[in-house]
Amino acid sequence: MSLLSVKSLTASYGVSQALFGVDLDINPGEVVALMGRNGMGKSTTVKAICRMIAAGGTLEFAGQNLHALPSHKAARLGLGLVPEGRRCFRDLTVAENLLATSRLGDWDMGRVTQLFPRLGERQSQLSASLSGGEQQMLAIGRALMTNPRLLILDEATEGLAPIIRQEIWAAINRLKADTDMAILVIDKTLAELEQVCDRAVVLERGKTVWSGTMAALTPEISERYVGV
């Protein structure tokens, strides 16, 4: 049984419908890329999964109907979101950002700083004073501290320097190798996605138009739907 099962997902912002039928399945330990051009509904899909906007269709996580849960209860089931734009708690230090969200489980400060040594070096620094890349690491660390079963990275490396992007992809690779955590990742860098992800789901105008293994994602398909 899939860890996350999304079928015919629909969602609207007021009168404007954004999702028209998204289908998406993720199994434990799987890394799935959610792809599509800007404005095609990737972030909206993530928001709907995390119950941050009302949605229709089937939405199940670990066998539970997510529609019945408010967003904080959905998160407690094991949904760890790294949002677009990071949104760290600016008035808190790195360590405090991590402690604020910690829940009992395998992930603690030590393990997060092992994954991202930079965070260990800057533990007592206010998160507002971190670089964009470090804030992204902190946002990932913060999500990991909730001990998620599915980690969702919305725009995982957007706007980051190449060296920082490498570090983030390396961390995702380590998570893939060392844990059975499922990962759903949104990003625009096809080359890196191809190396890390097992499968891809492509959205076009709020609808799933293609899904399959990364090996089956031909240049024609990515050119047609993703523009890369």
Partner 1 sequence: MSRETLFNAALLLGLIAVPAWAVMTDEPFTITLATRAVILALAAAGLNIALGIGGLVSLGHAVFFGIGGYAMGILAHHAQSYTPLMEWPFLIEGTKFMPLIWLLAIVVSALVALVIGILSLRTTGAYFIMITLAFGQMFYYFAISWSTYGGEDGMSIYVRNDFPGLNTLAPIQFYGLCLAILVVVLVFSARLRRSPFGLALNAARQVPARVEAVGMDPMRLKLVAFVISGVITGLAGALFADLNRFVSPTMFSWQFSGEIMILVILGGVGRLFGPVAGAVTFVALEHFLGGITEFWHIFLGLILLAVVLFARGGITGLVAGKEATHD
Can you tell me the distance from the alpha carbon of 7 to that of 35, in angstroms, rounded to the nearest whole number? 17
Can you tell me the distance from the alpha carbon of 209 to that of 116, in angstroms, rounded to the nearest whole number? 36
Residue 52 engages partner 1 in binding (rule: CB under 8 A): yes
- The structure tokens 């844990």 sit at 179
CB of 126 to partner 1, least distance (A): 8
Residue 185 engages partner 1 in binding (rule: CB under 8 A): no
Secondary structure (3-state) at 123: coil
Residue 92 engages partner 1 in binding (rule: CB under 8 A): yes
Q: Segment near partner 1 (CB under 8 A), from 15-23, 75-83, 181-189, 201-209?
A: 75-83
Residue 99 engages partner 1 in binding (rule: CB under 8 A): yes
Residue 89 engages partner 1 in binding (rule: CB under 8 A): yes
DSSP 30-76: -EEEEE-STTSSHHHHHHHHTTSS-EEEEEEETTEEGGGS-HHHHHH
Restricted to residues 133-162, the positions that interact with partner 1 (CB under 8 A) are 142-143, 145-146
Which amino acid, one-letter code, is at 108? D
User: Side by side, which strands form the sheet with 31-35?
Assistant: 64-65, 55-61, 4-13, 16-26, 207-213, 199-204, 31-35, 182-185, 150-153, 79-82
CB of 69 to partner 1, least distance (A): 11
Q: Segment near partner 1 (CB under 8 A), from 2-10, 14-22, 77-85, 191-199?
A: 77-85
Residue 123 engages partner 1 in binding (rule: CB under 8 A): no
Q: Which residues bind partner 1 (CB under 8 A)?
A: 50, 52, 70-73, 75-76, 80-81, 83, 87, 89-93, 96-97, 99-103, 126, 142-143, 145-146
